[in-house]
Structure 1
Amino acid sequence: MNRRVKEGTYKGKKFNAICHFFGYQARGSLPSKFDCDYAYVLGHVCYHILAAGLNGYMATITNLRNPVNKWRCGAAPITAMMTVRRWSQNPGTASIGKPAIHPATVDLKGKAYELLRQNATKFLLDDIYRNPGPLQFDGPGADSKAVTLCVEDQDYMGRIKKLQEYLDKIRTIVKPGCSQEVLKAALSVMASVTEVLSVMSSSPINGQSSL
Protein backbone atom coordinates (compact mmCIF):
# COMPACT_ATOMS: atom_id res chain seq x y z
CA MET A 1 0.00 0.00 0.00
CA ASN A 2 2.84 2.39 0.86
CA ARG A 3 4.55 1.59 -2.44
CA ARG A 4 1.40 2.28 -4.42
CA VAL A 5 0.93 5.60 -2.61
CA LYS A 6 4.51 6.64 -3.49
CA GLU A 7 4.02 5.60 -7.11
CA GLY A 8 0.76 7.52 -7.28
CA THR A 9 -1.27 4.48 -8.30
CA TYR A 10 -3.40 4.58 -5.14
CA LYS A 11 -5.30 7.73 -4.24
CA GLY A 12 -7.94 6.28 -1.95
CA LYS A 13 -8.45 6.73 1.76
CA LYS A 14 -6.10 5.39 4.39
CA PHE A 15 -6.36 1.62 4.74
CA ASN A 16 -7.07 0.21 8.19
CA ALA A 17 -6.91 -3.55 8.65
CA ILE A 18 -9.77 -5.13 10.61
CA CYS A 19 -9.27 -8.52 12.24
CA HIS A 20 -12.05 -11.08 11.95
CA PHE A 21 -12.45 -14.64 13.17
CA PHE A 22 -13.10 -17.10 10.34
CA GLY A 23 -13.03 -20.24 12.46
CA TYR A 24 -16.49 -21.43 11.48
CA GLN A 25 -15.85 -20.85 7.78
CA ALA A 26 -12.51 -22.65 7.95
CA ARG A 27 -14.03 -25.68 9.70
CA GLY A 28 -17.00 -25.93 7.34
CA SER A 29 -16.98 -28.63 4.69
CA LEU A 30 -17.43 -28.04 0.99
CA PRO A 31 -21.07 -27.58 -0.06
CA SER A 32 -22.74 -30.62 -1.54
CA LYS A 33 -24.56 -30.60 -4.87
CA PHE A 34 -27.81 -30.20 -2.95
CA ASP A 35 -26.38 -27.20 -1.07
CA CYS A 36 -25.34 -25.57 -4.36
CA ASP A 37 -28.71 -26.20 -6.02
CA TYR A 38 -30.57 -24.96 -2.94
CA ALA A 39 -28.56 -21.73 -2.71
CA TYR A 40 -28.87 -21.10 -6.46
CA VAL A 41 -32.66 -21.54 -6.42
CA LEU A 42 -33.00 -19.33 -3.33
CA GLY A 43 -31.10 -16.59 -5.13
CA HIS A 44 -33.32 -16.99 -8.19
CA VAL A 45 -36.45 -16.69 -6.03
CA CYS A 46 -35.00 -13.56 -4.37
CA TYR A 47 -34.59 -12.03 -7.82
CA HIS A 48 -38.28 -12.55 -8.55
CA ILE A 49 -39.21 -11.10 -5.14
CA LEU A 50 -37.23 -7.94 -5.95
CA ALA A 51 -38.60 -7.79 -9.49
CA ALA A 52 -42.14 -7.95 -8.09
CA GLY A 53 -41.39 -5.00 -5.79
CA LEU A 54 -42.04 -6.99 -2.62
CA ASN A 55 -40.51 -6.07 0.72
CA GLY A 56 -40.40 -8.03 3.97
CA TYR A 57 -40.66 -11.42 2.25
CA MET A 58 -38.46 -14.48 2.59
CA ALA A 59 -37.72 -16.88 -0.25
CA THR A 60 -39.04 -20.38 0.43
CA ILE A 61 -38.51 -23.74 -1.25
CA THR A 62 -40.46 -26.88 -0.39
CA ASN A 63 -40.73 -30.42 -1.73
CA LEU A 64 -36.95 -30.65 -1.36
CA ARG A 65 -36.83 -34.43 -1.21
CA ASN A 66 -37.80 -34.58 -4.90
CA PRO A 67 -35.61 -33.61 -7.90
CA VAL A 68 -34.88 -29.93 -8.47
CA ASN A 69 -37.40 -29.62 -11.31
CA LYS A 70 -40.16 -30.58 -8.84
CA TRP A 71 -39.24 -28.13 -6.10
CA ARG A 72 -41.93 -25.62 -5.18
CA CYS A 73 -40.76 -22.02 -4.90
CA GLY A 74 -42.54 -19.19 -3.16
CA ALA A 75 -42.26 -16.12 -0.97
CA ALA A 76 -43.57 -15.90 2.59
CA PRO A 77 -44.10 -12.63 4.50
CA ILE A 78 -41.84 -12.51 7.52
CA THR A 79 -44.73 -11.30 9.70
CA ALA A 80 -46.56 -14.59 9.02
CA MET A 81 -43.76 -16.39 10.87
CA MET A 82 -43.88 -14.09 13.90
CA THR A 83 -45.74 -13.77 17.16
CA VAL A 84 -45.77 -11.09 19.86
CA ARG A 85 -43.96 -12.10 23.03
CA ARG A 86 -45.44 -10.41 26.07
CA TRP A 87 -43.26 -9.41 29.00
CA SER A 88 -43.37 -6.87 31.82
CA GLN A 89 -40.54 -5.18 33.69
CA ASN A 90 -42.21 -5.33 37.10
CA PRO A 91 -45.11 -7.33 38.57
CA GLY A 92 -48.40 -5.54 38.11
CA THR A 93 -47.19 -3.32 35.28
CA ALA A 94 -48.61 -3.42 31.78
CA SER A 95 -47.01 -6.01 29.52
CA ILE A 96 -44.97 -4.91 26.52
CA GLY A 97 -45.25 -6.70 23.20
CA LYS A 98 -42.06 -7.62 21.38
CA PRO A 99 -42.07 -9.29 17.93
CA ALA A 100 -40.45 -12.72 17.85
CA ILE A 101 -40.09 -15.56 15.37
CA HIS A 102 -42.03 -18.75 16.07
CA PRO A 103 -39.69 -21.18 17.86
CA ALA A 104 -38.70 -24.22 15.80
CA THR A 105 -38.32 -27.11 18.21
CA VAL A 106 -37.43 -30.72 17.50
CA ASP A 107 -40.55 -32.77 16.84
CA LEU A 108 -40.15 -35.73 19.19
CA LYS A 109 -43.01 -37.47 17.39
CA GLY A 110 -41.67 -36.78 13.90
CA LYS A 111 -40.36 -39.37 11.48
CA ALA A 112 -36.76 -38.13 11.65
CA TYR A 113 -36.53 -38.39 15.45
CA GLU A 114 -38.24 -41.78 15.39
CA LEU A 115 -35.65 -43.00 12.88
CA LEU A 116 -32.87 -41.72 15.13
CA ARG A 117 -34.37 -43.44 18.16
CA GLN A 118 -34.74 -46.77 16.37
CA ASN A 119 -31.14 -46.74 15.11
CA ALA A 120 -29.44 -45.09 18.10
CA THR A 121 -27.55 -48.27 19.04
CA LYS A 122 -26.34 -48.83 15.48
CA PHE A 123 -25.11 -45.26 15.22
CA LEU A 124 -23.04 -45.73 18.38
CA LEU A 125 -21.42 -49.07 17.55
CA ASP A 126 -21.44 -49.51 13.77
CA ASP A 127 -19.84 -47.60 10.92
CA ILE A 128 -22.81 -46.32 8.94
CA TYR A 129 -21.94 -44.05 6.06
CA ARG A 130 -24.26 -42.89 3.31
CA ASN A 131 -21.30 -41.44 1.43
CA PRO A 132 -17.94 -42.87 2.60
CA GLY A 133 -15.85 -40.73 0.23
CA PRO A 134 -15.49 -37.04 -0.60
CA LEU A 135 -18.40 -34.95 -1.86
CA GLN A 136 -19.51 -35.87 -5.35
CA PHE A 137 -20.94 -33.44 -7.89
CA ASP A 138 -21.52 -36.08 -10.56
CA GLY A 139 -22.26 -39.78 -10.54
CA PRO A 140 -24.34 -42.11 -8.33
CA GLY A 141 -23.71 -40.29 -5.03
CA ALA A 142 -24.13 -36.74 -6.30
CA ASP A 143 -27.84 -36.50 -5.48
CA SER A 144 -27.56 -37.76 -1.90
CA LYS A 145 -29.61 -35.69 0.55
CA ALA A 146 -29.97 -35.45 4.29
CA VAL A 147 -32.08 -38.18 5.85
CA THR A 148 -34.41 -35.62 7.42
CA LEU A 149 -35.36 -34.32 3.98
CA CYS A 150 -36.11 -37.83 2.74
CA VAL A 151 -38.28 -39.03 5.63
CA GLU A 152 -40.17 -35.88 6.60
CA ASP A 153 -43.14 -34.65 4.61
CA GLN A 154 -42.54 -30.90 4.50
CA ASP A 155 -44.24 -30.08 1.19
CA TYR A 156 -46.06 -27.02 2.53
CA MET A 157 -47.16 -25.62 -0.83
CA GLY A 158 -48.18 -29.10 -1.95
CA ARG A 159 -50.51 -29.35 1.03
CA ILE A 160 -51.94 -25.91 0.26
CA LYS A 161 -52.66 -27.08 -3.29
CA LYS A 162 -54.27 -30.27 -1.96
CA LEU A 163 -56.49 -28.21 0.34
CA GLN A 164 -57.50 -26.01 -2.59
CA GLU A 165 -58.49 -29.13 -4.53
CA TYR A 166 -60.74 -30.23 -1.66
CA LEU A 167 -62.35 -26.78 -1.49
CA ASP A 168 -62.94 -26.78 -5.25
CA LYS A 169 -64.54 -30.22 -4.98
CA ILE A 170 -66.85 -28.95 -2.23
CA ARG A 171 -67.93 -26.09 -4.50
CA THR A 172 -68.87 -28.54 -7.24
CA ILE A 173 -70.92 -30.67 -4.82
CA VAL A 174 -72.55 -27.98 -2.67
CA LYS A 175 -74.25 -25.64 -5.11
CA PRO A 176 -77.79 -24.53 -5.95
CA GLY A 177 -79.78 -27.68 -6.63
CA CYS A 178 -78.06 -29.94 -4.10
CA SER A 179 -80.18 -31.76 -1.53
CA GLN A 180 -80.99 -30.39 1.91
CA GLU A 181 -79.04 -33.25 3.51
CA VAL A 182 -75.87 -32.40 1.57
CA LEU A 183 -76.21 -28.69 2.39
CA LYS A 184 -76.83 -29.41 6.08
CA ALA A 185 -73.84 -31.75 6.31
CA ALA A 186 -71.57 -29.24 4.55
CA LEU A 187 -72.63 -26.38 6.84
CA SER A 188 -72.10 -28.50 9.95
CA VAL A 189 -68.64 -29.70 8.90
CA MET A 190 -67.44 -26.30 7.68
CA ALA A 191 -68.66 -24.60 10.86
CA SER A 192 -66.71 -27.10 12.98
CA VAL A 193 -63.56 -26.74 10.87
CA THR A 194 -63.77 -22.94 10.97
CA GLU A 195 -64.19 -22.94 14.75
CA VAL A 196 -61.23 -25.27 15.29
CA LEU A 197 -58.95 -23.33 12.94
CA SER A 198 -59.95 -20.02 14.54
CA VAL A 199 -59.02 -21.32 17.98
CA MET A 200 -55.71 -22.75 16.71
CA SER A 201 -54.71 -19.55 14.90
CA SER A 202 -55.54 -17.27 17.83
CA SER A 203 -54.27 -19.37 20.74
CA PRO A 204 -50.89 -18.43 22.29
CA ILE A 205 -47.92 -20.57 21.27
CA ASN A 206 -45.53 -21.27 24.14
CA GLY A 207 -46.93 -18.34 26.09
CA GLN A 208 -46.85 -16.01 23.09
CA SER A 209 -49.77 -14.22 21.46
CA SER A 210 -50.07 -14.31 17.70
CA LEU A 211 -50.12 -11.16 15.63
Structure 2
Amino acid sequence: MNKRLKEGTYKGKKFNAICHFFGYQARGAMPSKFDCDYAYVLGHVCYHILAAGLNGYMATVTNLKSPLNKWRCGAAPISSMMTVKRWSRGPATTQIGKPAVHMASVDLRGKAYEMLRQNSSSCLLEDIYRNPGPLQFEGPGADAKPISLCVEDQDYMGRIKKLQEYLEKVKSIVKPGCSQDVLKAALSAMSSVTETLAIMTSSSTGQPPL
Protein backbone atom coordinates (compact mmCIF):
# COMPACT_ATOMS: atom_id res chain seq x y z
CA MET A 1 0.00 0.00 0.00
CA ASN A 2 2.85 2.40 0.83
CA LYS A 3 4.47 1.61 -2.53
CA ARG A 4 1.26 2.34 -4.41
CA LEU A 5 0.83 5.62 -2.52
CA LYS A 6 4.35 6.74 -3.47
CA GLU A 7 3.82 5.76 -7.09
CA GLY A 8 0.46 7.51 -7.14
CA THR A 9 -1.40 4.41 -8.31
CA TYR A 10 -3.66 4.40 -5.24
CA LYS A 11 -5.86 7.45 -4.72
CA GLY A 12 -8.49 5.99 -2.43
CA LYS A 13 -9.16 6.70 1.22
CA LYS A 14 -6.77 5.80 4.00
CA PHE A 15 -6.62 2.04 4.45
CA ASN A 16 -6.36 0.46 7.89
CA ALA A 17 -5.97 -3.31 8.05
CA ILE A 18 -7.93 -5.08 10.78
CA CYS A 19 -6.66 -8.47 11.89
CA HIS A 20 -9.10 -11.20 12.81
CA PHE A 21 -8.64 -14.73 14.11
CA PHE A 22 -10.33 -17.37 11.95
CA GLY A 23 -9.07 -20.38 13.89
CA TYR A 24 -12.49 -21.88 14.51
CA GLN A 25 -13.55 -21.36 10.90
CA ALA A 26 -10.34 -22.95 9.64
CA ARG A 27 -10.74 -26.01 11.87
CA GLY A 28 -14.46 -26.41 11.15
CA ALA A 29 -15.77 -28.97 8.71
CA MET A 30 -17.41 -28.05 5.43
CA PRO A 31 -21.05 -27.10 6.07
CA SER A 32 -23.65 -29.76 5.34
CA LYS A 33 -26.86 -29.20 3.42
CA PHE A 34 -28.65 -28.72 6.74
CA ASP A 35 -26.09 -26.10 7.78
CA CYS A 36 -26.54 -24.24 4.48
CA ASP A 37 -30.33 -24.33 4.68
CA TYR A 38 -30.27 -23.19 8.30
CA ALA A 39 -27.90 -20.29 7.61
CA TYR A 40 -29.87 -19.24 4.51
CA VAL A 41 -33.16 -19.20 6.43
CA LEU A 42 -31.62 -17.21 9.30
CA GLY A 43 -30.34 -14.65 6.82
CA HIS A 44 -33.77 -14.44 5.19
CA VAL A 45 -35.39 -13.85 8.59
CA CYS A 46 -32.82 -11.11 9.32
CA TYR A 47 -33.86 -9.38 6.10
CA HIS A 48 -37.48 -9.31 7.24
CA ILE A 49 -36.43 -8.03 10.68
CA LEU A 50 -34.61 -5.12 9.03
CA ALA A 51 -37.45 -4.52 6.58
CA ALA A 52 -39.87 -4.26 9.51
CA GLY A 53 -37.66 -1.64 11.15
CA LEU A 54 -36.99 -3.78 14.23
CA ASN A 55 -33.91 -3.41 16.38
CA GLY A 56 -32.52 -5.61 19.14
CA TYR A 57 -34.09 -8.80 17.79
CA MET A 58 -32.52 -12.17 17.04
CA ALA A 59 -33.64 -14.37 14.16
CA THR A 60 -34.98 -17.76 15.26
CA VAL A 61 -35.88 -20.95 13.41
CA THR A 62 -37.65 -23.80 15.18
CA ASN A 63 -39.15 -27.17 14.29
CA LEU A 64 -35.82 -28.07 12.68
CA LYS A 65 -36.47 -31.81 12.88
CA SER A 66 -39.24 -31.46 10.30
CA PRO A 67 -38.74 -30.94 6.54
CA LEU A 68 -37.52 -27.54 5.42
CA ASN A 69 -40.96 -26.34 4.30
CA LYS A 70 -42.29 -26.88 7.84
CA TRP A 71 -39.65 -24.87 9.68
CA ARG A 72 -41.04 -22.03 11.77
CA CYS A 73 -39.36 -18.64 11.53
CA GLY A 74 -39.57 -15.82 14.03
CA ALA A 75 -37.76 -13.03 15.83
CA ALA A 76 -37.06 -12.93 19.56
CA PRO A 77 -36.14 -9.73 21.43
CA ILE A 78 -32.68 -10.06 22.92
CA SER A 79 -33.95 -8.44 26.13
CA SER A 80 -36.22 -11.46 26.71
CA MET A 81 -33.13 -13.66 26.99
CA MET A 82 -31.41 -11.40 29.49
CA THR A 83 -31.37 -11.19 33.25
CA VAL A 84 -29.82 -8.70 35.66
CA LYS A 85 -27.10 -10.09 37.88
CA ARG A 86 -26.54 -8.09 41.04
CA TRP A 87 -23.53 -8.05 43.32
CA SER A 88 -22.00 -5.76 45.93
CA ARG A 89 -18.47 -4.40 45.80
CA GLY A 90 -18.24 -4.35 49.56
CA PRO A 91 -20.22 -4.20 52.80
CA ALA A 92 -22.81 -1.44 53.12
CA THR A 93 -22.59 -0.63 49.40
CA THR A 94 -25.36 -0.40 46.86
CA GLN A 95 -25.79 -3.47 44.69
CA ILE A 96 -24.74 -3.08 41.07
CA GLY A 97 -26.88 -4.60 38.35
CA LYS A 98 -25.45 -5.77 35.05
CA PRO A 99 -27.67 -7.22 32.30
CA ALA A 100 -26.44 -10.38 30.63
CA VAL A 101 -27.83 -13.11 28.38
CA HIS A 102 -28.92 -16.28 30.17
CA MET A 103 -26.28 -18.98 30.17
CA ALA A 104 -27.26 -22.26 28.52
CA SER A 105 -25.43 -25.12 30.19
CA VAL A 106 -25.14 -28.59 28.72
CA ASP A 107 -28.08 -30.70 29.85
CA LEU A 108 -26.37 -33.62 31.59
CA ARG A 109 -29.71 -35.43 31.75
CA GLY A 110 -30.59 -34.87 28.11
CA LYS A 111 -30.72 -37.58 25.49
CA ALA A 112 -27.80 -36.15 23.51
CA TYR A 113 -25.39 -36.25 26.45
CA GLU A 114 -26.67 -39.67 27.50
CA MET A 115 -25.92 -41.01 24.02
CA LEU A 116 -22.41 -39.53 24.19
CA ARG A 117 -21.85 -41.09 27.61
CA GLN A 118 -22.99 -44.52 26.41
CA ASN A 119 -20.66 -44.40 23.41
CA SER A 120 -17.70 -42.72 25.13
CA SER A 121 -15.68 -45.94 25.39
CA SER A 122 -16.29 -46.77 21.72
CA CYS A 123 -15.11 -43.31 20.67
CA LEU A 124 -11.70 -44.03 22.20
CA LEU A 125 -10.97 -47.10 20.08
CA GLU A 126 -13.30 -47.11 17.08
CA ASP A 127 -14.08 -44.89 14.13
CA ILE A 128 -17.65 -43.68 14.53
CA TYR A 129 -19.06 -41.57 11.74
CA ARG A 130 -22.31 -41.18 9.85
CA ASN A 131 -20.79 -40.33 6.49
CA PRO A 132 -17.36 -41.79 5.61
CA GLY A 133 -16.98 -39.73 2.44
CA PRO A 134 -17.29 -36.06 1.48
CA LEU A 135 -20.45 -34.16 2.32
CA GLN A 136 -23.32 -34.76 -0.06
CA PHE A 137 -25.74 -32.06 -1.20
CA GLU A 138 -27.88 -34.40 -3.30
CA GLY A 139 -28.91 -38.03 -3.12
CA PRO A 140 -28.87 -40.43 -0.13
CA GLY A 141 -27.52 -38.89 3.03
CA ALA A 142 -27.84 -35.32 1.84
CA ASP A 143 -30.66 -34.55 4.27
CA ALA A 144 -28.87 -35.96 7.32
CA LYS A 145 -29.19 -33.80 10.42
CA PRO A 146 -27.11 -33.56 13.62
CA ILE A 147 -27.65 -36.47 16.00
CA SER A 148 -28.00 -34.08 18.93
CA LEU A 149 -31.02 -32.57 17.15
CA CYS A 150 -32.60 -35.85 16.05
CA VAL A 151 -32.53 -37.58 19.44
CA GLU A 152 -34.47 -34.84 21.20
CA ASP A 153 -38.23 -35.29 21.43
CA GLN A 154 -38.95 -31.60 20.93
CA ASP A 155 -36.98 -28.44 20.40
CA TYR A 156 -36.89 -25.61 22.93
CA MET A 157 -39.83 -23.67 21.52
CA GLY A 158 -41.76 -26.91 21.14
CA ARG A 159 -41.45 -27.51 24.89
CA ILE A 160 -42.52 -23.92 25.57
CA LYS A 161 -45.62 -24.50 23.47
CA LYS A 162 -46.32 -27.75 25.34
CA LEU A 163 -46.09 -25.90 28.65
CA GLN A 164 -48.53 -23.27 27.40
CA GLU A 165 -50.96 -26.03 26.45
CA TYR A 166 -50.79 -27.43 29.99
CA LEU A 167 -51.41 -23.97 31.45
CA GLU A 168 -54.44 -23.53 29.22
CA LYS A 169 -55.80 -26.88 30.42
CA VAL A 170 -55.37 -25.77 34.04
CA LYS A 171 -57.22 -22.53 33.30
CA SER A 172 -60.07 -24.45 31.67
CA ILE A 173 -60.40 -26.80 34.66
CA VAL A 174 -59.81 -24.40 37.55
CA LYS A 175 -62.42 -21.69 37.13
CA PRO A 176 -65.39 -20.33 39.08
CA GLY A 177 -67.67 -23.25 39.84
CA CYS A 178 -64.97 -25.91 40.27
CA SER A 179 -64.91 -27.95 43.48
CA GLN A 180 -62.90 -26.99 46.54
CA ASP A 181 -60.77 -30.12 46.17
CA VAL A 182 -59.81 -29.19 42.60
CA LEU A 183 -58.96 -25.65 43.68
CA LYS A 184 -56.85 -26.83 46.63
CA ALA A 185 -54.97 -29.33 44.47
CA ALA A 186 -54.25 -26.68 41.83
CA LEU A 187 -53.07 -24.11 44.40
CA SER A 188 -50.81 -26.65 46.10
CA ALA A 189 -49.27 -27.82 42.82
CA MET A 190 -48.78 -24.31 41.40
CA SER A 191 -47.29 -23.06 44.67
CA SER A 192 -44.77 -25.90 44.68
CA VAL A 193 -43.88 -25.34 41.02
CA THR A 194 -43.38 -21.58 41.39
CA GLU A 195 -41.22 -22.01 44.49
CA THR A 196 -39.05 -24.59 42.74
CA LEU A 197 -38.67 -22.43 39.63
CA ALA A 198 -37.84 -19.38 41.75
CA ILE A 199 -35.03 -21.29 43.49
CA MET A 200 -33.69 -22.64 40.18
CA THR A 201 -33.80 -19.20 38.59
CA SER A 202 -32.07 -17.52 41.52
CA SER A 203 -29.26 -20.09 41.50
CA SER A 204 -28.60 -19.49 37.79
CA THR A 205 -28.84 -15.68 37.92
CA GLY A 206 -27.28 -15.06 41.32
CA GLN A 207 -30.36 -13.22 42.59
CA PRO A 208 -32.29 -14.16 45.74
CA PRO A 209 -35.76 -15.65 45.09
CA LEU A 210 -38.69 -13.27 45.42
What's the TM-score, normalizing by structure 2? Answer: 0.78
Q: Report deviation, 1:81.
A: 1.0
Structure 1 residue identity aligned to 2:204: N
1:31 equivalent in structure 2: 31
* Alignment pair present for 1:61 and 2:65: no
Q: How many residues align?
A: 205
> Structure 1: how far apart are the matches of 2:62 and 2:118?
27
2:100 equivalent in structure 1: 100
> Structure 2: how far apart are the matches of 1:108 and 1:167?
27
1:74-153 → structure 2 map (5 Å cutoff): 74-153=74-153
> Structure 1: how far apart are the matches of 2:30 and 2:12?
36
Structure 2 residue identity aligned to 1:92: A
Q: Report deviation, 1:62.
A: 1.6
**Overall identity of the aligned pairs, in %:** 67
Asked if the contact 2:82/2:101 (under 8 Å) is kept, the reply is yes
**RMSD, aligned CA:** 3.1
Assess, with a 3 A threshold, how the Cα gap between structure 1 residues 202 and 42 changes in structure 2: closer, same or farther.
same
Secondary structure of residue in 1 paired with 2:204: coil
1:206 equivalent in structure 2: 204
Q: Report deviation, 1:35.
A: 0.8
Q: Report deviation, 1:112.
A: 0.8
Structure 1 residue identity aligned to 2:90: N
Structure 1 residue identity aligned to 2:110: G
Q: Report deviation, 1:163.
A: 4.8
2:70 equivalent in structure 1: 70
- Structure with bigger RCO (C-alpha 8 Å, 6+ apart): 1
> Structure 1: how far apart are the matches of 2:62 and 2:123?
29
> Structure 2: how far apart are the matches of 1:93 and 1:3?
57
Deviations 1:55-113 (A, max 9, x none): 22111112212221222222211111111111222233221010011111111111111
Asked if the contact 1:5/1:11 (under 8 Å) is kept, the reply is no
Q: Report deviation, 1:189.
A: 5.3
More displaced 10-residue stretch of structure 1: 126-135 or 10-19: 10-19
Structure 2 residue identity aligned to 1:128: I
Assess, with a 3 A threshold, how the Cα gap between structure 1 residues 114 and 163 changes in structure 2: closer, same or farther.
closer
More displaced 10-residue stretch of structure 1: 113-122 or 149-158: 149-158
Secondary structure of residue in 2 paired with 1:49: helix
Asked if the contact 1:72/1:157 (under 8 Å) is kept, the reply is no
Secondary structure of residue in 1 paired with 2:58: strand
Secondary structure of residue in 1 paired with 2:132: coil
1:43 equivalent in structure 2: 43
In structure 2, runs of 5+ residues without a counterpart are none
